[in-house]
Amino acid sequence: MKDIIDDSNKLIRSISKEVSLPLSKEDHDLLMDMHAFLVASQDEKLSEKYDLRPGMGLAFPQLGLSKRIIIIVHEYEDGKFDNYVVINPKIVSNSEEIIAAEAGEGCLSVNRDVEGHVPRFARVTVEGYDESGNKIRIRAREELSIAFQHEIDHLNGILFFDRINKKKPFYSENEIRLI
């Protein structure tokens, strides 16, 4: 797999371009590598063995590629994963309810802890295409909703800490639902 670039690289801030379908063999192979990396990074033994930071998702811009492709590997139960590959994803609807990950968010392209709550929609509906070029629609809630918003932000040159309120980085349970 290509190296993950960090937030010091200006490419991470660029707006990605739509991808033509079907995917090229190179992009498909890269997706398979990204999937293997994300699964390994969430496995405690493998992540320790290969010194991997745990990650739930990756976007092509994090590899220095200006393409609107994301992958999310969501462990919904111990050792069981749902895999989401979305090409040219768009959030087409969202809840009014706002949530935040209580522990904050992290990112494989940000090599430091950034404290603060990142307000996100509790539920989103995402449309895009799968690797075969079929139109797909995904309804995501809670942690998965946060992951989709985080990865789609990468396609627009936005990093999670851009969304932390500098004047009020933390919220109470009365202000926002923390998950």
Active site residues: 151
Cα distances (angstroms) measured from residue 100 to each of 49, 104, 112, 133, 178: 31, 7, 19, 32, 5
74: nearest Cα among 146, 174, 161: 146
Q: Which two tokens stand for residue 79?
A: 């050792």
Q: Which two tokens stand for residue 8?
A: 């010091």
Cα distances (angstroms) measured from residue 131 to each of 56, 60, 74: 19, 14, 18
